[in-house]
Structure 1
Amino acid sequence: MNQMTNRVASTLRPNDHPYLNGAWTPNYEEYDADDMEVIGTIPEDIDGIYVRNTENPVHHPIGRYHPFDGDGMLHMMRFSGGKAQYKNRFVRTKGFEAEAEAGEALWAGFTEPPKKSKRPGCGIGSHMRDSSSTDVLVRNGKILSTFWQCGDGYLLDAESLDTLGIEEWVPVDGLSAHPKLDHKTGELMFFNYGDKAPYMHYGVVGPDNELKHYIPIELPGTRLPHDMAISDNYSVLNDFPMFPIPEALENGYFIPQFVPEMKTRFAVLPRYGSPEDVMWFEAEPTYVLHWTNCWEEGDELILEGYHQKNPFPAPLDNMPDRYKVLVANIDLHSLRPHLHRYRFNLKTGETIEQRVCQEDNVEFGNINPEYYGREHRYVYSAHGEKGWFLFNGLVKHDLKEGTAQKVMFGAGRFGSEAPFIPRKGAVDEDDGYLVSFVTDLMLDRSECVVFDAKDLEQGPVCRIVLPHRICSGTHATWAQASEL
């Protein structure tokens, strides 16, 4: 069965926007498929779901469009017994339903002034639509979809992908993307941020899905954090010197700036700590979009993520003038991120930081989930296409040897973040698979590709051809069948 179950009506008009064409061309069909062409052999020793988001703008944008403004759509591949089933669905947010009823866009994107939106929204300036298009995780047998500018947090059924509604514990201040799940305890740690004091909050949700802890984290002003990290006993939040120009924000304009004279700051606190328990650590100025892991070692807390060499790059010459500034800050070759570690001494307050791998232009990393909260050897990153927010390959970092193994998807083929799937009965840290959706512009189709994590260079062990070509996306997750 390769059945299109629904097609969403769109008002998007043809245009030359670089992130509404090519690999970013939106699609509006919702499919159920279990009779797909398979090139190679689907491994029989994996059982679970791979879920990835995409940004698919349904209606013609109000003013300038940014690729993170699009409506959220989730794509899911279910693996079991050497077979695979695919389905995709839009996340039916309140904004999605309101615009469907109106037949037009009601909210402007985050690069437009709030006065252009036709209805109140969310996020900094409170004018954006919560499209729930950023991050996904699986918890308590359901999929949680989140938005980077702090939205409601939407639940979807892990079998049907039907939108079930808003997560009930989310505070009025919203939920940012990248909450962190402790698989050992079932607790979920999260944060949110905004343009009013204290500018950030932090909370803990118990395994019973009740909000157990919620405190303010005082910052000097509006900030743009994107991710957080947890260890067994601590949570880490951040205050980077990248934030909207305060005077511009007061006048309704979102204009980010990077202030290299300011230090990067990290807030470290016990999982159920109070505001008075926050320990602040300073480091060199940068911006980190995503963290890979965090663990405790003696008196130190070690945090690993993607340090940006150039957090505020110049406009891209290969873009039309009206798009140069808009998309320069999401090109990995402009940002030049690499794997980096911070060591926070909880006794002395000292910070030591160091680069841990020479490979540049990498981000959106994953590790074997069984190594969260303890030192790991391998990280699997997406490699950026020069000049674009696209991923043209995967990189396996061996942090013990200080080496990197790279595999490219091929000309005109672009993938996404690739979660690690532990093989049944695995004995080594890298004994498992990487999975990603890849869009092939040459063949005008999309595939789900599975790699053997021990040997990326041999290419995919299988390629499953999807019933349609899907749009490029950002985040993804893997959940074992036991988690469903």
Structure 2
Amino acid sequence: MIEIVNEVKLTIKEDNPNPFLKDHFQPIGKEYTATSESLEVIGEIPKDLNGIYVRNGHNQVHEPMGVFHIFDGDGMVHGVHFENGKATYRNRFVRTTGFLAEQAAGKSLWPGMLEPHLATRQGWGSMGTMKDNAGTDIIAHAGKLLATMSQCSEANRLDPITLETVETDTWNTKVAPAGVCSHFKVDYDTGEMMFFNFSETYPYMNYGVVDSNNNLKHYVPIDLPGVRWPHDLGITKNYSILHDLPFIFDPELLAKGERKVTFFEDMPARFGIIPRYGDSNQVRWFEAKPCFILHLSNSYENGDEIIMEGCVTFNPRKPAVGKQGKDAIDKIKSQFNQNATQYRMYRWRFNLKTGKTKEEFLDDEVTEFPVVNNEIVGKKYRYSYNSTFDNSKAWWLSGLKKYDLLDGTSQRYEYGEGRVGSEPQFALRDNAKEEDDGYLITLVTDMNENRSECLILDAQDFSRGPVARIILPERIPVGAHACWVAADRIKGERV
């Protein structure tokens, strides 16, 4: 069965020249439900793969207000539910308050992140001017999916199987207006979710903990010197790691109402180690080389040290925020120029006894979107699965690289010419015996065949090629982040 359950009318003008609305970014309006019996399956879907792969992404509906940035698009989630050798594909828009308002109006009502001065009504996000598109992150917690955007948004909850927007969290008003920033983390041992938010008004950051039953148990302000623009959060068994990085709005210009994101090379990066239920007075700040971090692989405790690993850049770039000129698109492309930003795997060691930081590169190759086995988030681990890039194209994830951080080796898999991937997720097979005993799942858009597919790889042996490829009903745009929901967590946490 391939069913079109709904179709949202797209109003983007055909002559809109923005390249981030075309080609592998081109949005779709149809929402599908389709079973593997009705879809072409190349290979065989493993019977020991049980759970749901969900990928979020930006899928713009209306002609943008001002210059469009890829992070402005309406959130659309794509899910593949695996059960006993079969699969069901669904895609649904995240029906945020902003999305519903624009559907009623039939046009865009909020500007994007590049031109906040065009706002004519109250919005969401750290600047308070954007629509809550909920198109960046997606994670499962307490029996629901939580979809948010990187600039902070409401806690939008979805049914993990149907992908329908069901509610916002009961604690949503308690964290408003700052909301929830993408890259919250779940500790599978306790079922707790740790999150943060940030804004242009005091306090500039807040940190919180939600328990396994979706109750907000802890929410505290974090003392910072000024407005910040963090992106990720680390967790360990006992601590969370907050980021205060020197890639921020120029404070002197911001005081005049001008937003200019600037990398201050003479300002150290700071990392705040806070007890899971601690407050600002208990944060221990560690200094490191000036840098910017989008995404972490994992963090864990090792004796007196907190180890944090992820992808770092010492040359970050973001497009200018404010009135845009003719070079606006070039500035966006520069932001995604991997040759320039050089995000690479890196390790920080924070010594709780001495207060010192040690840091080092783990690899010379440019990679990003690192993911690990969900079962060992916050624990000592061995494998990280990162995306590689074709640097001649914007936002083109060309393949996967598996790092063995114990013996220093790696494996890789390339999607092929004209094929662009999504953030992968690792899924343990039933009765798995080892950390990497499972599958890597991702969505691939094939520009040669004008189609998209769900790709399943054996995580222990990339050389086998895909175990299975499920051809989707329609070609979909590239996306942002993904999550894996194991079958025994679909209805709630295990604790």
Aligned to 1:16: 17
Cα distance in 2 between the residues matched to 1:435 and 1:215: 36
Tell me which amino acid in the other structure corresponds to 1:47.
N
Q: Deviations over 1:31-88 (max 9, x none)?
A: 0001110001111111000000121111111111100000000000000111111010
* Cα distance, 1:247 vs structure 2: 3.8
- For the Cα contact (< 8 Å) 1:413–1:440, is it kept in 2? yes
More divergent stretch after superposition (165-174 vs 274-283): 165-174
1:406 aligns to 2:409 (yes or no): no
Cα deviation code 1:431-477 (max 9, x no counterpart)? 11100000000000000000001111322111000011111001000
**CA–CA distance in 2 between the matches of 1:67 and 1:389?**
10
User: Structure 2-normalised TM-score?
Assistant: 0.94
Partner Cα separation in structure 2 for residue 70 and residue 33 of structure 1: 24
Q: Is the contact made by 1:7 and 1:29 (CA closer than 8 Å) also made in structure 2? A: yes
Residue number in structure 1 paired with 2:31: 30
Greater Cα shift, 58-67 or 349-358: 349-358
* Deviation of 1:246 (Å): 2.6
The C-alpha deviation readout for 1:259-289, integer Å capped at 9, x for no partner, is 1111000010100112211100000011010
CA distance in 1, matches of 2:259, 2:25: 24
Q: Residues of 2 paired with 1:151 and 1:23: CA distance?
A: 26
Describe the shift of the 1:313–1:178 C-alpha distance in structure 2 as closer, same or farther (beyond 3 A).
closer
Q: Distance in 2 between matches of 1:385 and 1:348?
A: 42
Name the residue aligned to 2:5: 5
**Residues 1:31 and 1:251: Cα distance change in structure 2 (over 3 Å):** farther
Q: 1:445 aligns with which of 442, 448, 451?
A: 451
Q: Does 1:456 align with 2:462?
A: yes
Question: 2:301 — aligned with what?
Answer: 296
Paired residues of 1:333 and 1:385 also in contact (CA < 8 A): no
How far does residue 313 in structure 1 lie from its aligned partner after superposition? 7.8
1:76 aligns with 2:76: no
Letter in 1 for 2:33: D
Cα separation, 2, equivalents of 1:102 and 1:255: 32
Distance 1:454 1:168, change over 3 A: same
Tell me which stretches of 4 or more aligned residues in structure 1 moved more than 6 Å. Answer: none
What residue in structure 2 maps to residue 475 of structure 1? Answer: 481
**Alignment TM-score, normalising by the size of structure 1:** 0.96
Residue aligning to 1:284: 289
**Residue 186 (structure 2) aligns with:** 181
Q: Give the gaps of 5 or more residues in structure 1.
A: none
2:232 matches 1:231: no
Which among 156, 159, 164 is matched to residue 157 of structure 1? 159
Query: C-alpha displacement at 1:136, in angstroms?
Result: 0.5
Equivalent-residue separation in structure 2 for 1:88 and 1:314 (angstroms): 30
RMSD: 1.5
Residue aligned with 1:261, SS: coil
Partners of 1:421 and 1:433 within 8 A in 2: yes
Distance 2:273 2:191 in 1: 21
| Contact 1:446–1:470 (Cα < 8 Å) also in 2 | yes
Matches within 5 A, 1:279-358: 279-312=284-317, 321-358=327-364
How far off is 1:330 after superposition? 2.6
Cα displacement (A) at 1:305: 0.9
State the secondary structure of the residue aligned to 2:217. strand
CA distance in 2, matches of 1:399, 1:42: 29
Aligned residues: 478
Q: Which amino acid aligns with 1:276?
A: N
Q: Name the stretch that deviates more: 364-373 or 92-101.
A: 364-373
Question: How far is 1:374 from its partner?
Answer: 2.1
Name the structure 1 match of 2:198. Answer: 193
The corresponding residue for 1:118 is: 120
Say if 1:108 and 1:127, in contact at 8 Å, map to a contact too: yes
Q: CA separation in 2, counterparts of 1:313 and 1:289?
A: 12
Aligned to 2:149: 147
Paired letter, 2:294: L
Are 2:188 and 2:375, in contact at CA under 8 Å, matched by a contact in 1? no
Residues 73, 133 of structure 1: 8 Å contact kept: yes
Give the direction of change, closer, same or farther, for the CA distance of 1:254–1:27 in structure 2 (3 Å limit): farther
SS in 2 for 1:19: helix
**Partner of 1:435 in structure 2?**
441
Aligned counterpart, 1:384: 389
User: Which residue number in structure 1 is paired with residue 90 of structure 2?
Assistant: 87
**Per the alignment, in what secondary structure is the counterpart of residue 92 of structure 1?**
coil
Distance 1:314 1:101 in 2: 31
Distance 1:401 1:8 in 2: 50
User: Contact between 2:55 and 2:481, CA under 8 Å: does it hold in 1?
Assistant: yes
| CA displacement at 1:370 relative to structure 2 | 2.3
SS of the equivalent of 1:161 reads: coil
Cα distance in structure 2, aligned partners of 1:135 and 1:124: 16
User: 2: distance between equivalents of 1:178 and 1:313?
Assistant: 19
1:254 deviates by: 3.2
1:149 and 1:343 map into 2 onto residues whose CA distance is: 28
Find the partner of 2:208 among 178, 182, 203: 203
